[in-house]
Amino acid sequence: MRSLLFIPADSEKKLAKGFASGADCLILDLEDSVAPEAKQKAREQARAFLADAVPVSPRPRLYVRVNGLKSGLTEADLCAVMPASPDGVLLPKCHNGAAIQHLGAMLVVKEAQHDLADGATRIIAIVTETAASIFSMGTYAGASRRLEGLTWGAEDLAACLGAETNRDAGGGYSFPYLLARSLTLFAAASAGALAIDAVHGKFRDLAGLRLECEVAKRDGFAGKMAIHPAQIEIINKIFTPSNESIAKARAIVAAFEAEPKAGVICLNGEMLDLPNLTKARRLLAGYRET
């Protein structure tokens, strides 16, 4: 998944626009973008939207951001949307791997109640929204076979820390948030999950978005979250491998397959070892998914 677009689930207009946005994944939001008095309306609209959209082919992946496990609202969120069989759930304010297991146990029950395949509902977690969560980044490896991705966020973390801003004078993230971002990347790699970069909140700043995407792709992130359809084209373009990189990855895989016992090969004057093979295979696997 290259692009994941948040859509307030209480807005029929935004849901319709999101479906036509070209995003790889739509995240129907029941949490931060929905006021407390609108939660039930959002649940009902999310369920109706999923019921209509899930049978469509082709279509984007369809996730629901539920309210956090400590909110007391997660059960009601799942009761509302699981009958419509979303592809996955985005868990906010996730503190550790045990929270993934907790949500997974809830999903087991809902899947059984609605005759869905066991394990069909995947999980992406936002893992940096509290200070405590930073100390548990190594707990996601092996937490659940449902875990598809880890992502991070800077706004809730800044509020938790009492920070005046999470950006430096040049507009980039300041050190505490770069640390959270880096730990998310490491945690995702350790867990065998997708690393997904945070939203770029200034949706009219497409130059800033492009730069963040380029840096994220360089560092190893597989995609980026978005808050506006106007951001999707840039995100998809940057996180789609170039023809040149695809051709090189195929050549590396073919070269190692031709010499299955080799730990190092020479290709076009470049010495390549097994980490290069791993990287090539990962790129091609991601390319096939797009």
Q: How confident is the model at residue 287 (pLDDT cuts 50, 70, 90)?
A: low
275 and 148 within one domain: no
- Domain limits at 265? 243-289
- HSE-CB of 16 using CA atoms within 13 angstroms: 3
Q: Which of 107-121, 139-153, 252-266 has the lowest mean pLDDT?
A: 252-266
Selected residue with higher pLDDT from 27 and 260:
27
228 and 256 within one domain: no
Residue at which a domain ends, from 239, 263, 281: 239
Q: How confident is the model at residue 275 (pLDDT cuts 50, 70, 90)?
A: confident
pLDDT at 96 > cutoff 50:
yes
247 and 111 within one domain: no
pLDDT, tens digit, for every residue of 115-134? 999 999 999 999 999 999 99
Mean pLDDT (the chain) is 94
pTM recorded for the entire structure:
0.90
pLDDT at 289 > cutoff 60:
no
Residue-level pLDDT at 243:
85
Residue-level pLDDT at 283:
80
Residue-level pLDDT at 22:
96
Residue-level pLDDT at 290:
46
140 and 94 within one domain: yes
pLDDT at 286 > cutoff 80:
no
263 and 223 within one domain: no
Residue at which a domain ends, from 220, 239, 258: 239
Mean pLDDT, residues 130-155? 97
CB burial of 66-84 (b: ≥16 within 10 Å; e: otherwise) equals bbbbeeebbebbbebbbbb
270 and 195 within one domain: no
188 and 64 within one domain: yes
Q: Percentage of the chain surpassing pLDDT 70?
A: 98
Q: Which of 70-79, 81-90, 197-206, 242-251 has the lowest mean pLDDT?
A: 242-251
Asked if 96 and 133 count as a contact pair (C-beta separation under 8 A), the reply is yes
247 and 138 within one domain: no
197 and 148 within one domain: yes
Single out the residue of 81, 61, 63, 85 nearest to residue 73, CA to CA.
Answer: 81
210 and 247 within one domain: no
261 and 178 within one domain: no
Number of domains in the chain: 2
Residue at which a domain ends, from 205, 221, 239: 239
Distance CA 187, CA 2 (A): 19
135 and 66 within one domain: yes
Asked if 28 and 62 count as a contact pair (C-beta separation under 8 A), the reply is yes
